[in-house]
Structure formats: structure tokens, C-alpha cells
Amino acid sequence: MPAPRIIRMAMLGFLASAMLATSTFAEPQQGEQIVLSSTEHHAPGAGAQGFSALDTEKIRETEEKYVFETEVSKIMKIIINSLYKNRDIFLRELISNASDALDKIRFMSLTDSASMSTNSNLNISITADPVARTLTITDSGVGMTRQQLKDNLGTIAKSGTSEFLSKMEESKKDDVSLIGQFGVGFYSVFLVADRVTVASKSNDDPAQHVWVSDAVNDFTIAEDPRGNTLGRGSQITLHLKEDAVEFLEPSNVESLISKYSEFINFPIFLWKGHNETIISEKSETLESNDDVEEEEIDSEKTEPEELTEEVWEWSQINTQKPIWTRSPKDITEEEYVEFYKTFTKSNDGDPIAWSHFKGEGDVDFRSIMYIPPRPDANFYQSLASATNNVKLFIKRVFITDDVAGDFFPRWLSFLKAIVDAEDLPLNVSRETLQQHKTLKMISKRLVKKALDMFAQLAKNDEKKYSEFISHYGVALKYGAIESQSHRKKVASLLRFRSSQNAQDAVVGLDHYIERMKPDQKHIFYASGMTIEEIEQSPFLERLVADGYEVLYFVDPIDEMLMQNMPGYDGKSFSNIAKGDIKIGDDSDEAKAEHKELEETFKPLQNWLKSTLSEYIDKVTISKRLATSPMAIVTPEFGLTGHMEKLLAAQGMNAAQKEDALYKFMASQKKTLEVNPKHPIIKALLDQVESGEPDEDITQLVTVLYETTSIRSGFQVKDLRGFTQRIEEVVGKGVGAEVAKAPTLKKEEEEEEEEEPIVPEDLFVGGHDEL
């Protein structure tokens, strides 16, 4: 090996030994490195973390032994024996405690700048020593005096163990999430360790002390024989159990830090290694020879050699800053987008919009909520299921993501949000969250802010709002159905297609009302499976010709929406396919003219009612037809053709078939409206007035009724008879004889007819939860 290489390795070995033997803890610095061989110990600051045999002997000479109070011992047994499955929370608890200690010293420094002189750096560092099987967490926080070590880690006075045990007994189960709520999070270390050493130095104590326990019945406290290695702060060394060696792997530790503590205010450093490849020069002669002339050595050819070395360094894990703690005016749009992608771990695109705000007053919290670029897969199919789109932090410590349903109603569960609360106890349980008054107040604020965010988007960016509606418009309709308290606000956010803009859903109810005719009392709408189906409907003819705007409802949920939202801003909704529509001239002269038409066409009305008695209840002169001869209108409380199609696609049980409201609506016979200005209707009137129409006329009217039924949105009941009647009419037209279509009796028709099916809660009014 060339001399430079030998010297370099010797220096690295010396540096490693120096770091391992040092008796003073060195503050970690990002990128600080050491290159080690595979046989060398890679944990830095070992002298600060471990004790020599002499140190141990001195501790035994000066230590004082204390017995855990009864409640603390119970805590130990619960943790060790019952909470194994969730044991990775120990790291969250230790980091949270370290963060609290750092917050305290930083607060103290505001009034006493000298308090920081003992250690000016504020951070948390974590190292693993696989040889000693230890994991060490060090902070430069406020530290603890000897008495505080005793009080905080061994007695009931400060730990809150009594309250913890009481809650455990109340819940009748071992709920690990309660750890920490009462200040007992430290004891979670015994989930993974069979022995724990805590070294701590406070500004209020001249000496550094050591607390040691094996989680049995007692603990000891002694003055640290190594002296003040910390300057200020605490260092917790976990002697891990044999089944917990997974926590010695830096990648596992890093994963837990990212999961639970990514947004802690202070930097968290992890001592971790990686391999680096270097290129050196390799001599063809591996051994020096005193007999070889110096000139010959110099002339020897060398060739490059690739070597892999293990490099260990301090790496900051929580590099993603908690931007929700910053002022929105100081955050760029790019930062918000980047944070969204980091927070959601998604690369599907930029969020449509976001809202960043701080809740103050009765409850203090910060939040950022985002509208994703598109819904999650199967979002609308899984609205009844819980989602994990909200991450709850308490003072920047991640608690859970199983709270979306507690913060947002399900119709808003597409939102992705972070909530950082100040007024919730750390590690509240799932049951406690649901009952906590603070959470309910936060939920109200979040829903209000979400609706405000949608309204601002609609006002400031029509293009983005149109994109939002295309993805989440149906969710808002669910909201208008389910939430009575937010119905008006949500309704104002809805957008529809209409006869004035059939291509895009951009027409809001406020826009519609602004364009209404002076004499118009209703908001007209038409329902159908597609825009094309609606635009072919005969019900549109007169309305559009007279300049009325009609909203187009093509989402299946729209029919349910109309049942739960009968009006908006003083205007009622009117289905143009139902009931007696009020349009046009309403003067006495117009009424008289219409009455005259009724008298003129009365013979035809009577004959049509008799001929089609199996299908219709009455025949009237239409006010809504312009070019079609007739249309089939549903009574106000009947089922339209579109509704029948929707019901036919649903499941139905015996109880639903007997639902009184459904049976009432399904039994309503239709009304046949005729257009008195249409030549076919005029010709039929002449036929009736000249005598009893023959069988051919009756057959033609039956075909006309069936084709009208299709145009009106209904399905033909007697499809076989309909096709044969069409064939017969065509046959006569071309001079061919076709067998007459059999006339079905009403009972036979009912046997062949598929009864519409209704979902269980279709006719039930809205409520606040889906």
C-alpha cells in the first residue's frame, strides 16, 4: 500500500478511537463524518454513553436506591406484559419528552440568556451501538437535578400514574395510546429495554447525575463519575432486550422518526452509515525491496483500484419543516405544493387549492388542508368507510391518522389535512378523541374553513373551480343532503349544466336566479341519464322556446337532492316532467283562451283517456309542448321515468317493497298532455268528432303513446307488443300484410313488468352523517 494510503487509514483509525474514547459529549453537526473499517465500532461518543468498570464501581459506592411507588410498579407490569404490539411508540415518547425539555430551556432563555451558555445548541441526537446492544437518545434541553430524577421518574407526584391506572381500569382494556396522556410516556422504554440509564445535567445542579433501573421494583441515583459530559440536557441509554434488536438498525429508527416526529421543532440527528466507493492507485509491487533502486520504484507503473469504505455521519432526519407553524404570507406557492407532496407521499399532481390558518379563541390549533388533484380511487364507493386523510399532531408530535371522521363529515373526507392542536393531551385515545370537547370545536372550524376555501376558489379561479366540481361536485351534493346546518352554504357552491350551457357544469343557483324572468317563480330542472337524453325530451320545447333556463340533472344523486332540498333562496324547484307547470302568460285573457281549448278538445281528451285507461289517469291540454304532439307527465308525487330507471338499478328487500311511500309513488298514474297546435292532434280530434275511430286509428294512437313514453323517459312495458305494432304500421305503409299484435290483458302485463326497485333510505330525509 502506498505511503499516502497507509497514513490516511492510520489517521482515520486514530480519529475513530478518539471519538469513541472521548469523555465529553460532542454536539452533532450535519455531515460530520468518520470512515471506519468493518471491524471498528461505529457509535460516536461512547464514553458519554457507557461506563468503564471503574465508573461502575464509583456509581455503586455513591448510589442511593429507591423503591418505585406502587402505582409506578403497576405501570411497569402493564407495559411489559400487555402492550407489546405497539412498542415502537417508545421512540415517539422519548423524542416528545426531549422536545418538551428543549422548549423549556428555550423559554427560560427569553428571560435568562445565561441559561443557554452551558450548551448553546438545541437538538436531539440518536445513536445505536450494536456491540453493546444499546440505543441512546440525547437532548440539550433543560435537564434534571438529582431530586427531579427521583420525582419525575419514580414517584406519583409528577408522573400521573394514578390517573393513568384509573383510566385503564375504566376502559377495561390495555390501551397503549393512553401512555403519555398523563405524563407516563417515559415508561414505554421498558417495552423494548430491560435496563435503562438516564444521565442528566441541569443548570440548577452543579453535578451530573445518573438514574438507573431494570424495571423490576427499584431504581438508583448516583453522581455521574464521568463528570459533566453533557453541559446541559439528558441522555437516555436503552439496553435493549434480545427481541428488540431491530431498533439498532438505523433504517428502522429513521423510519420511526419520519413516522412520528418528522415535524418536531428541533433538529433530530441520527448516526448512520453508508458505503462510498473511492479510487486509489495500486502499485504492481506490493512489497518494498531495499535492493531495488529508488529510480526503479518511481518508474513502476500503477493502476487505479476501486475500494468500498463505510462512512458514518450525523444525518438530520426531520428536514421537512412544519410549515403550518409559519405565517402564510412567508410561504411561497411552491413550498405549499412541495409540502403537499411530502405530506401525502403522492406524485399525482399539484393540489387544486389549500387553506392555511390558525384557530384561536376557545381552542388553539393550526391547520393546512388541501384539495387533492383528484379523488382517491373508489372514493365514492367507500364513503361509508373511514379514511386516513387527516393527520393529527399535538404540539408537532404525530399522534394518529385515524381521525378523519372526527374532523370532517364523510362528504368532505376527500380533503387531506394536518391538524396541530395545542389544547389536546398528548396521545389521547380513540375513545377520548370522540368525546373531547376541543376536537368537536376544531371540527366545526375545519368544516367552515373548507367551505370558505371552496367559495374563494369559485370567486377567484373559475377554471380551477370547474375542475374541482368535476371531481368533487357529487360529494358536495351529498353534503347538501346530509347536513342541514350547512345546506344553504353547500347549495350555493353547487354547479350544474343547463339549457344555456350544456357542455360544462358552471351554472350556480345564484347565477340562475339572477337570470330568471321577472314572472318566474320556480327553478326549472330536467333529469336524465345523459345530456343528450334530456335535450331530446319534449318537456324542454316550450320552456326553451320562451327563453326559460332549465338546469340539467344527470347525476343519480340529483333526484335525492331534490327530495331533501325543495328550494333555494326563496325559490322552489320544479321538475319540468312533473305536475302542472306554471309558465307563460297568466292573464285572464290567457286563462280564457286555455279554457276554450279545453272545451274544444274535450271529445279527444275523453276518447284518449278511455283508449289508454290502463296507462293514464287523465288527459290535459299542454302548456309545455311546442313541436311534439304529446308528452307523458308524472304527477307531483309520482315516479318520473328517470327515477324509475334509477330504482331499477338498485337492490330491494321485502320490507322495501312494502314501504308505504314507495307504494304510493309507484301507484300514481301518469297524465297525458296533448299539443293542441300539432297537426296529428288536430287530425285525431277530427276523427273523434266524425265518429268512433276505427281499430287502425286506435293502434296508431297506441304506438304514438308508446313512442311518446320513450321520449318522456319511460321504458316501454310491453316491448313485444310495441315492436309488433310498429311492424304492422310499417307493413301497411309498404303494402305488406303483417299479423296483428296481440293485445295483452292488464294482469298479463303486470306479470311481465319488472317492478322498480328502491334503496332502503331513498325516501328518508337528510341527516348530518352519511
**pLDDT tens per residue, range 509-519:** 999 999 999 88
Give the model's confidence band at 748: pLDDT under 50 very low, under 70 low, under 90 confident, else very high. Answer: very low
Percent of the chain with pLDDT over 90: 33
Amino acid at 564: N
User: For residues 454, 459, 463 and 466, what is the CA-based torsion angle, rounded to 10 degrees?
Assistant: 50
Could you tell me where the DSSP H helices lie in 421-554? 430-435, 437-460, 462-482, 487-493, 509-514, 531-535, 540-545
> What cell numbers appear for 490 in the block?
353547500
Query: What is the per-residue pLDDT for 755?
Result: 47
270 pLDDT more than 60: yes
Percentages of the chain per state (helix, strand, coil), in multiples of 5: 45, 20, 35
**Three-state SS at 116:** helix
Q: What angle separates helix 641-648 from helix 557-564, to the nearest 10 degrees?
A: 120
Mean pLDDT, residues 538-542 taken together: 89
- CB of 616 closer than 8 Å to CB of 532: no
* C-alpha torsion 655→657→663→668, nearest 10: 160
Residue 125 and residue 119 in contact, taking contact as beta carbons nearer than 8 Å = no
Secondary structure letter of residue 656 according to DSSP: H
Q: Distance between alpha carbon 749 and the CA centroid of its chain, in Å? A: 50
Section 156-177 average pLDDT: 50
Q: Enter the C-alpha cell of residue 641.
A: 321515468
Mean pLDDT score, 664-689: 85
- Asked if pLDDT for residue 648 goes beyond 50, the answer is yes
CA–CA separation, 193 and 244 (whole Å): 8
Annotated binding site for ATP: 93, 97, 139, 144, 152, 158-160, 181-186, 430
Residue 274, judged by CB atoms within 10 A of its CB (0-12, 13-18, 19+), counts as: exposed
Q: Residue 733: is it exposed, middle or buried by C-beta count within 10 angstroms (0-12/13-18/19+)?
A: exposed
Length of the chain (residues): 770
Q: Are 688 and 603 in contact (CB under 8 A)?
A: yes
Q: What is the pLDDT of residue 332?
A: 92
pLDDT given at position 749: 46
Residue 493, CB-side half-sphere exposure with 13 Å CA sphere: 27
pLDDT, mean of residues 342-359? 88
Q: Would you list which residues are annotated within the binding site?
A: 93, 97, 139, 144, 152, 158-160, 181-186, 430
Give the residue-averaged pLDDT of 214-228. Answer: 87
Ramachandran quadrant class, 376 (left: phi over 0; alpha: psi -120 to 50; beta: rest) = beta
pLDDT of res. 159: 46
Torsion of Cα atoms, 347 then 348 then 353 then 356, to 10°: -30
Task: Report all structural domains of the chain as residue ranges with CATH numbers, in order of start.
Answer: 42-172+186-269 (3.30.565.10), 323-457 (3.30.230.80), 602-752 (1.20.120.790)
According to the model, what pLDDT value does residue 606 have?
Answer: 92
* Nearest-angstrom CA–CA distance, 570 and 12: 83
Report how far residue 199's alpha carbon sits from residue 267's, in angstroms, rounded to the nearest whole number: 21
Q: What percent of the chain has pLDDT over 70?
A: 74
Give the whole-angstrom CA distance, residue 741 versus residue 726: 9
Q: Compute CA 432 distance to the chain's CA centroid, rounded to the nearest angstrom.
A: 21
Question: pLDDT tens digits, residue range 584-608?
Answer: 666 778 788 888 999 999 999 999 9
DSSP-assigned letter for residue 675: -
Residue 398: Cβ-neighbour burial (10 angstroms; 0-12, 13-18, 19+): buried
pLDDT band, very low/low/confident/very high, at 286 (cuts 50, 70, 90)? very low
Supply the pLDDT for residue 634.
Answer: 85
**What is the C-alpha separation between 770 and 759, in angstroms, rounded?**
14
Work out the average pLDDT over 745-751. Answer: 46
* Contact (CB, 8 A) for 368 and 344: no
At residue 354's C-alpha, the angle toward residues 349 and 360, to 5°, is 150
Stronger pLDDT, 651 or 357, i.e. the higher one: 357
